[in-house]
Structure 1
Amino acid sequence: MDLAQNFQDLFTFEALISMLTLSVLEIVLGIDNIIFIAIIAGKLPERKDQRKARVVGLSLALLMRIALLFSITWVIALKDPLFYISDFGATGRDLILFAGGVFLLFKTTVEIHEKIEGAGEQEVNVKKLALNAVVMQIVFIDIIFSFDSILTAVGLVNNVLIMVLAVIIAMLIMLAFSERVSDFINKHPTIKMLALAFLLMIGMILIMDALHFHVPKQYIYVSMAFSLLVEGLNMRMRSRRAKKGTHFDN
């Protein structure tokens, strides 16, 4: 890639439109990432540790994404079969997506079990270790989610600098809203359970994708939006009932 030519091409109207479009797509594709970060960071005992985990985790993830963009030839090569099982050709991308799907299923199932069984909060004896563990999980899952967004970027834009700037913009926006999303999810137990169900679905989709059964993510986003709409109406109804109850008590 000619970086000098790519830099010159940045200062065009077409490049600006491409960068904005790609930034929006990166944010949309990063919704599942934000939800995972909100849930996993929320397990840290102190708010400052939660904020630190989000900032450090997303910053490291950003560096990893930029490194992957500059190694785009290697990323694309991950779509070439490494070995065959009968007629099934397993690629590097398949193995990574499968590992990520299993990881998400495990983490989400454990979290749902804790919520249903009402397991008490465990005391964190070594906060540094817990913080490091959360950061590493954020980076790991972001790498898994990175492949779809990077391959989408390659399909839309030929300029690697535009890709990098779009990823930086998307990550900064995700970082700016991650705390609000985290607070909202952790404040409302039903929303948190919906988010966990969404992550469970994402884990299944990743495994299916690794096995070459492709399910468009639009179906997931539509079902999630509908579920959130229904839950939003329920929250509104509960809020109005609570206000009426308070009014009658007075």
Structure 2
Amino acid sequence: MDFSPLLHADGWITLATLSALEIVLGIDNIVFLSIMVERLPEKQQPVARRVGLLLALGMRLLLLLTISWVMSLKATLFTLFGHGFSGRDLILLVGGLFLVGKATHEIFDKLEVSEEEHAQGGKERSSFTSVIIQIMLLDIVFSLDSVITAVGMAQAVSIMVIAMVLAVGVMLVFAGRIGAFINRHPSMKILALSFLILIGVVLIADGTGQHVSKGYVYFAMFFSLAVELINMRLKLRQRSPVKLHNKVPGGEHHAVVGEG
């Protein structure tokens, strides 16, 4: 691997820019990871979180080392309704549909499933293996987007590898805190699930040839997050929080709304 680009200032500027961009792109990963590991017993959550992020890094590096194959995914496989679908389009389309379906199901499960149904479904908890498999499948989608972005910004593989390692390192440090914060605040959990639906729709649009600028998407997400943080601060002393349905053994099985 050639590290000579790091001997020049341009190489360091590219590395810093790409690392920052990879961290932003990793937000999708962290949100999905936080939602998925919450379905596991508390003791298994840190392990699942680390395994999920290490899988994300491994997937990115694997795709980066097979970059010629990744770029070949842009070749048209077939045409439907006037749009040529490539391998990349199909991956994004399937990943987007999965995200929308999964997030919608989670919202329904948190708000609409009765206490009796939760009690009956307590033994149907997601296993560690099934959660890791779902994380790995979405890692493929997120990693493909991440690698294609990296290739578009940097020519040196060494810079791409370092940027991705740094980004996943940052995600490893903060994913636990972000996940704990989301799980402590029910409104934030619903907002995170809404973000996943938004991301899923963007992936579907991209897979069908309708490109949506990520800048608009992340602006909407950060604006919604800022508004919710202000609401939480204003209402902190006014009422107790809402508790969503949770199938974790020993956890709450029904929604409780505090009195105003």
TM-score (norm: length of structure 2): 0.85
Shift of 1:147: 2.0
Match of 1:204 in 2: 201
Measure, in 2, the Cα distance between the counterparts of 1:136 and 1:19. Answer: 31
* Partner secondary structure for residue 77 of structure 2: strand
Aligned AA (2:149):
T
Measure, in 2, the Cα distance between the counterparts of 1:139 and 1:11. Answer: 35
Shift of 1:19: 1.3
Measure, in 1, the Cα distance between the counterparts of 2:229 and 2:196. Answer: 19
Shift of 1:241: 3.0
Structure 1 gaps, min length 5 = 244-250
Give CA-to-partner distance per residue, 1:9-31, whole Å, 9 cap, x none: 33333222211211100001111
For residues 136 and 233 of structure 1, do their structure 2 counterparts lie closer, same or farther at Cα, with a shift above 3 Å needed? same
- Is this contact kept in 2: 1:94–1:209, CA < 8 A? yes
- Structure 1 position 51 matched with structure 2 position 50: no
For residues 242 and 190 of structure 1, do their structure 2 counterparts lie closer, same or farther at Cα, with a shift above 3 Å needed? closer
Match of 2:94 in 1: 99
2:180 to 157, 177, 183: 183
Match of 2:248 in 1: none
- Is this contact kept in 2: 1:26–1:170, CA < 8 A? yes
- Is this contact kept in 2: 1:94–1:210, CA < 8 A? yes
Give CA-to-partner distance per residue, 1:220-246, whole Å, 9 cap, x none: 111111211211121111114359xxx
Match of 2:236 in 1: 239
- Structure 1 position 123 matched with structure 2 position 122: yes
Structure having the higher helix fraction is: 1
Measure, in 1, the Cα distance between the counterparts of 2:16 and 2:44. Answer: 32
Q: Give matches, 1:83-162, under 5 Å.
A: 83-119=78-114, 120=118, 122-124=121-123, 130-162=127-159
- Is this contact kept in 1: 2:60–2:146, CA < 8 A? no
Q: More displaced, 108-117 or 12-21?
A: 12-21
- Structure 1 position 171 matched with structure 2 position 150: no
Q: Report % sequence identity.
A: 48
Shift of 1:86: 4.6
Shift of 1:118: 4.0
Aligned AA (1:82):
L
- Structure 1 position 29 matched with structure 2 position 33: no
Structure 2 gaps, min length 5 = 241-260
- Structure 1 position 20 matched with structure 2 position 16: yes
Measure, in 2, the Cα distance between the counterparts of 1:12 and 1:168. Answer: 20
- Is this contact kept in 2: 1:58–1:139, CA < 8 A? no
- Is this contact kept in 1: 2:59–2:143, CA < 8 A? no
Aligned AA (1:179):
G
- Structure 1 position 7 matched with structure 2 position 3: yes
- Is this contact kept in 2: 1:124–1:130, CA < 8 A? no
Measure, in 2, the Cα distance between the counterparts of 1:104 and 1:212. Answer: 18
Match of 2:212 in 1: 215
Measure, in 2, the Cα distance between the counterparts of 1:100 and 1:26. Answer: 19
Measure, in 1, the Cα distance between the counterparts of 2:224 and 2:18. Answer: 27
Q: More displaced, 203-212 or 114-123?
A: 114-123
Measure, in 2, the Cα distance between the counterparts of 1:196 and 1:52. Answer: 22
